[in-house]
Amino acid sequence: MPVTAGQNLRALRVKLGLTMRDVENASLKIALRHQNDAFAIAISRLSDFETKRVTPNIYRLYSMAVIYRQDLRELLHWYDVDLNAVAADMEVVLPPKSHVSQTAGNVSAFHMPVRFDPGFDARQTMNLGRMVEDWGLVPLAHLAQFASSQYTYGYIGSEDLTMYPVLPPGSFIQVDESKNKVEEGKWQAEYERPIYFVETREGYVACWCALKNQEIILMPHPLSPVSPRTLRYLLDAEVIGQVTGAGIRLGRWERDVGLWKPRSA
Residue pLDDT, tens place only, 193-248: 999 999 999 889 999 999 999 999 999 999 999 999 999 999 999 999 999 989 88
pLDDT of the residue at 110: 58
Fold of the 151-262 domain:
Umud Fragment, subunit A (2.10.109)
According to the model, what pLDDT value does residue 136 have? 63
pLDDT of residue 127: 53
The superfamily (CATH) of domain 5-78 is lambda repressor-like DNA-binding domains (1.10.260.40)
Domain boundaries, the chain: 5-78, 86-92+106-141, 151-262
Sheet holding 215-219, edge to edge: 99-100, 151-155, 172-176, 237-247, 196-200, 203-212, 215-219, 229-232
Burial category of 187 from C-beta neighbours within 10 Å (exposed 0-12, middle 13-18, buried 19 and up)? exposed
User: What pLDDT does residue 66 have?
Assistant: 96
User: Residues of the chain whose pLDDT is less than 70?
Assistant: 1-2, 102-116, 120-150, 251-265
